[in-house]
């Protein structure tokens, strides 16, 4: 009998997704493992593979459709010996009210890629876009039609600031693939970009920067966090001269720069060890009760073109500094490339946000629910301090803990900050 292809659940929190692109067309034969479509979640664009063999007989939802609830039928596959007459008795209607069809700016016209990434969704800015010829896969951005490309090709184009409308794809149906990007990069050709649309009001000119899915989700969750989570804050100043000395000593042992441990790597390790020393701080809120975690899965805030994402270093309490450094470098690279999988950015127990490299002295971060705490790290400054009734100069780093009072009370928060400060100021203790 006909097989329904459903909008998949690609992460534990996913309730809806966008159908970014159909890789296969109606009438194409498909086999298990074939990529038939690209699905856009709130964090990434992922390929949808079929597990069945047959013919893609009917596409129920067009590419470009947004906010499709999970488990919604999106296509029909007919097995060998079946024909389209068997579709007549099936309910193939899809209420458009259940999903919003919009042309995504980056797929349609690729506007200003410094501001908009290859996975962003945008509000339609010009009604003329609706009249574009979506059937021509090789059309350029000048006729506003969809630019078909693989996720890898889009990421490469974004990183190299290449306008996809300038490239003729060599893949199936004119799809732009990795080889096309590499070939274009080798040419001495200026990279063209579309100018963002400029608006005017009575006071000044302005541009509208499209909001992508990641920004929408982050905005919603942060608003909910500040409205629903009772925050309080604890700040300590840490002397890190000993930590800087240990870091320098460790890095000096690297041969041919095979590794470079950062201050942030040591902060991650210190937080992980402190959470094991004060396990009540390694907690999150749930309707069933407070969850106390046995391992420290540290979420680290990373700024990307799409907004903000928090890749997770799992079991950081069990890992040495070299492993932490290596894994964090890989996670950051994947975050910028847009290749993180849901398990790499969901399920953390504690978060760290470090703005010290931007010269920020101190700040208060917003908790990432359901986690109970997030640590905000400021810049390192040389300051005069009093030791043994004498004034000396020390390197001081400010650390502020944002705490969900439902999960962690003031005494537990203070004990955690005391443990963290001790480990930062005497870093050999975290290496035991």
In tens digits, what is the pLDDT along the chain, a chain of 432 residues?
Answer: 788 899 888 776 678 888 888 989 888 999 888 889 888 876 677 888 888 888 898 899 988 788 889 889 999 988 887 877 767 666 665 554 444 433 332 232 223 333 233 333 322 222 222 233 333 333 333 332 357 777 677 777 777 777 787 787 777 667 787 777 877 766 544 444 444 556 666 677 777 777 766 777 788 888 999 999 999 999 999 999 999 999 999 999 888 778 899 999 999 999 999 999 999 999 999 889 999 999 999 999 998 876 788 999 999 999 999 999 999 999 999 988 888 888 888 889 999 999 999 999 999 999 999 999 999 999 999 999 998 899 999 999 999 999 999 999 999 999 999 999 999 999 998 887
Question: Which conformational region is residue 37 in: left (phi greater than 0), alpha (psi within -120 to 50 degrees), or beta?
Answer: beta
Per the listing, tokens 């013919």 go with 55
Following DSSP, what letter does each residue of 210-256 receive, concatenated?
A: PP-HHHHHHHHHHHHHHHHS-EEEEEEEEE-HHHHHHHHHHHHT-ST
Burial of 233 (0-12, 13-18, 19+ CB in 10 A): middle
Question: Which of 96, 91, 107 lies closest to 149 in space, CA to CA?
Answer: 107
At 42 the pLDDT is 66
Domains for the chain: give ranges and CATH numbers: 3-101 (2.40.50.100), 107-207 (4.10.320.10), 213-431 (3.30.559.10)
Q: With CA atoms as reference, report the closest residue to 396 among 238, 192, 223.
A: 238
Q: Which of 203, 231, 336, 405 is catalytic?
A: 405
336 is catalytic: no
Note the residue count of the chain: 432
Cα–Cα distance, 49 to 47 (Å, whole number)? 6
pLDDT at 122: 29
**E strand or H helix that includes residue 337:** helix 321-337
Contact between 424 and 274 under an 8 Å Cβ cutoff? The reply is: no
Alpha-carbon gap, residue 369 to 407, rounded angstroms: 11
Q: Which of 107, 89, 116, 178 lies closest to 145 in space, CA to CA?
A: 107
pLDDT score of 88: 67
pLDDT at 93: 57
Residue 107 burial (C-beta neighbours within 10 Å; 0-12, 13-18, 19+): buried
Spatial CA neighbour of 175 closest among 156, 149, 155: 149
DSSP 122-167: -----GGGGGS-TT-TT--GGGT----B-HHHHHHHHHTT--GGG-
């Amino acid at each position: 009998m006909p097989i329904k292809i459903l909008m998949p659940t690609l992460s534990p929190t996913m309730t809806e997704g966008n159908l970014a692109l159909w890789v296969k067309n109606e009438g194409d034969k498909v086999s298990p493992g074939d990529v038939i479509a690209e699905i856009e979640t709130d964090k990434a664009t992922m390929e949808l593979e079929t597990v069945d063999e047959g013919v893609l007989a009917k596409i129920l939802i067009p590419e470009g459709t947004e906010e499709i609830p999970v488990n919604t039928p999106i296509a029909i596959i007919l097995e060998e010996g079946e024909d389209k007459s068997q579709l007549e008795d099936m309910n193939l209607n899809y209420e458009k009210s259940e999903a919003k069809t919009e042309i995504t700016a980056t797929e349609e016209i690729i506007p200003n890629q410094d501001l908009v990434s290859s996975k962003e969704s945008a509000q339609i800015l010009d009604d003329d876009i609706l009249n574009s010829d979506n059937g021509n896969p090789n059309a350029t951005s000048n006729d506003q039609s969809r630019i078909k490309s693989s996720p890898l090709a889009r990421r490469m184009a974004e990183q190299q600031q290449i306008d996809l409308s300038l490239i003729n794809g060599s893949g199936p149906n004119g799809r732009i693939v990795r080889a096309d990007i590499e070939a274009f990069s080798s040419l001495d050709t200026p990279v063209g970009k579309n100018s963002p649309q400029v608006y005017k009001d009575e006071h000044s000119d302005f541009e509208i920067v499209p909001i992508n899915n990641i920004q929408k989700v982050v905005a919603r969750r942060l608003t909910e966090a500040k409205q629903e989570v009772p925050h309080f804050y604890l700040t300590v100043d840490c002397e890190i001269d000993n930590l800087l000395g240990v870091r320098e000593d460790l890095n000096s042992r690297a041969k041919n720069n095979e590794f470079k441990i950062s201050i942030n790597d040591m902060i991650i390790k210190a937080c992980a060890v402190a959470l094991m020393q004060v396990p009540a701080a390694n907690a999150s809120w749930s309707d069933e009760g407070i969850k106390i975690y046995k391992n420290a899965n540290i979420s680290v805030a990373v700024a990307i073109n799409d907004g903000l994402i928090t890749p997770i270093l799992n079991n950081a309490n069990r890992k040495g500094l070299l492993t932490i450094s290596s894994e964090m470098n890989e996670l950051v690279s994947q975050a910028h490339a847009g290749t993180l999988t849901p398990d790499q950015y969901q399920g953390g127990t504690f978060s760290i946000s470090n703005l010290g490299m931007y010269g920020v002295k101190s700040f208060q971060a917003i908790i990432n629910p359901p986690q109970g705490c997030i640590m905000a790290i400021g810049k390192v400054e040389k300051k005069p301090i009093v030791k043994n009734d004498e004034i000396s100069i020390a390197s001081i780093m400010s650390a502020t803990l944002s705490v969900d009072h439902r999960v962690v009370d003031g005494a537990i928060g203070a004990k955690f900050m005391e443990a963290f400060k001790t480990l930062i100021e005497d870093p050999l203790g975290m290496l035991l």
